[in-house]
Chain A
Amino acid sequence: MEIFKIQFSAADLKVIAPELVLTIFALFVLILSVFVRRQSRGPLGYTALVGVVIAFFSLFLGIGKEIKAFNGMVTMDPFCLFFKVMFLIVAFLTILASLGYTKREGIDLGEYYVLVLFATVGMMLMASGVNLLIIFLGLEVMSISIYVLAGIMRDDTRSVEAAFKYFLLGAFASAFLLYGIALTYASTGTLDLAGIGEVLTRQAWISSLPIVIIGLALLIIGFGFKIALVPFHMWTPDVYEGAPTSITAFMATGVKAAGFAAFVRVFFYALPNLQAYWTQIMWILAVATMTVGNIIALSQTNIKRMLAYSSIAHAGYIMVAFVAGNELGKSSILFYLLAYVFMNIGAFTVVILLGKKGEENTQLADYAGVGFKHPLLAASMSIFMLSLAGVPPMAGFMAKFYVFSAAVKARYYWLAVIGVLNSAVAAYYYLRVLIYMYFREPERELAVGAFSPSAVLAVIISVWGVLQIGILPSTFLALAQRSVQFLL
């Protein structure tokens, strides 16, 4: 038996500095929430916000060298740096959008921000883990926090039901993921991703053992649940609709991006030798995910539910890049996720702003006439919808463009064709929101409370992000390409 020497140095701590900062701030907010009175809970959210900003700057401590820390458990490479920045943006925007919302809905508890921070830590660990153990732990830290967050509106039966469904299916999916990890470990003898890749290269006969193939399939199921691939998407619409809107935004962007980070890392880093097996499965999954997501979204009248199906469809587009698997494919996964973060959080924040206590106003009919009552808000919503639909010059267009050109480059012509047809179908339900906002007479007066300034700031940042990525995509694509270099 090998002997473990447990030792670590300050250099190791620098690698996980942002995680440490976020954890410390989460604990600090937790303690603070005990000591502040119910009326003066405002500072809790701002403290969490400060934590996210400090975590961002603490990233610079670990930059510069590609090092592994804690006996090769976590790493700090450009790939995880890209994702860590993305998760911090997600956490930042989510907290901004939540500040007014939590107060309105009476969930401005300390726990809310604490759990958002912990979930972010979990996401970061998923992106930086190079050992299946760390990836699993990161996933669970994230998931368990989100189970609670989905049901944090304790008096709202729909929110509790969302938490219930997410919990049961999430735990079920983790069991599959875990079994996949166990079988991979049993066949290769290591949990280290680089080690697994090495064993599979060195002893190619292992790759064709049934146990490896079953393990691969179980891993796909486990990750597929987290990123909502069809046919593992059943929980998505229910959970997205029932959860508090700010948490829906967090789930749709952060959890999905974290799932993809671990998915890409495991499959392109540890299992590239099995690519012949998994591209076929992924091809089918990508087509099914895009098509089912888009077609069911067509008939939705609740905007949260529609965005849930749209997020399934977007996972399908990202899978197209995954199948392509070439350099452009891998970098466009990252590019797409970044663009998706801005447009999706922006859209959900607008949904938050158009609601008030007791009335969420999430039916499409509620959006009739919004274009004249709240012109700026409607303009931002239009930008997000057009971006989601993939209209130039928004971020969504460039993201789709890169994804599909990666598929064409890798000679997956049919996949690209199906993807393009799908985005044509998708345009219908995104544009319908615009039609409601600008061309329909309101059936009833839409009662909207005072806009929370922080949520307005989140919308402004998202608009800026969408336009910036859409108009100057090459900077961001170059960043993404640098980030995936080690995977080549």
Chain B
Amino acid sequence: MLPNVPPVCYLIVSALIFAIGAVGVLIRRDAIVIFMCIEMMLSAVNLSLITASHYLDSLDGVLMVFFVMTVAAAEAAVGLAIFVLLYRGRGTIKVDEINLLKW
């Protein structure tokens, strides 16, 4: 049995995690850490979806979570491959040193 926590608490926790992730993306300089922050944002969304799904008594949210996890895995595969490629060419994946293209 779940303890009797009001759903809004879960939603607030999820919003906090999402915000931490978003801030992390904006202030960190290492591509891997930025990517981890993005994954954290996705997990925060999953928490919201599951909370909503549980309290609304509907399966849609849980279903969505499975797809979000799959998409996150696919994204990680492509993203890490791009990081490796970049590291081979440039020897760094610090975002402020990736500046060939700019106006």
Contacts and interface: CB of A to CB of B under 8 A. Distances in A.
Give the one of A191, A237, A242 with max B CB within 10 A.
A191
Contacts of B11: 186, 211
A56 to B, nearest CB: 28
A167 B68 contact: no
B79 A161 contact: no
Contacts of A132: 64
Interface string A1-19: 1101000000000000000
A189 interface: yes
Interface string B74-87: 11001100110110
A119 to B, nearest CB: 13
A182 B45 contact: yes
Contacts, number: 128
B72 to A, nearest CB: 9
Give the one of A1, A4, A174, A182 with max B CB within 10 A.
A182
A181 B68 CA distance: 12
B56 A189 contact: yes
A251 to B, nearest CB: 15
A305 B103 contact: yes
B103 A296 contact: yes
Contact of A140 (B21, B25, B71): B71
B85 A151 contact: yes
Interface residues of B, number: 44
B41 A179 contact: yes
Nearest to A177: B45
A1 B103 contact: no
A163 interface: yes
Contact of B100 (A158, A172, A296): A158
A167 B82 contact: yes
A144 to B, nearest CB: 5
A98 to B, nearest CB: 20
Given A140-B75, A161-B98, A168-B95, A175 B56 contact: no
A104 interface: no
A151 B48 contact: no
Main secondary structure of the interface of A (DSSP, over half): helix
Give the one of A165, A185, A305 with max B CB within 10 A.
A185
A219 B51 CA distance: 20
Contacts of A404: none
A161 B83 contact: no
A178 B98 contact: no
Nearest to A166: B82
B67 A136 contact: yes
A133 B103 contact: no
Nearest to A300: B103
Interface of B: 11, 18, 21-22, 25, 31, 34-35, 38, 41-42, 44-45, 48-49, 51-52, 56-61, 63-64, 67-68, 71, 74-75, 78-79, 82-83, 85-86, 89-90, 95, 98, 100-103
17 contacts: A132-B64, A133-B64, A157-B90, A161-B98, A164-B31, A164-B82, A168-B35, A168-B38, A171-B35, A174-B71, A179-B18, A182-B49, A186-B11, A211-B11, A238-B102, A241-B101, A296-B103
Given A157-B89, A174-B71, 6 more contacts: A140-B74, A164-B82, A167-B75, A168-B31, A168-B79, A172-B22
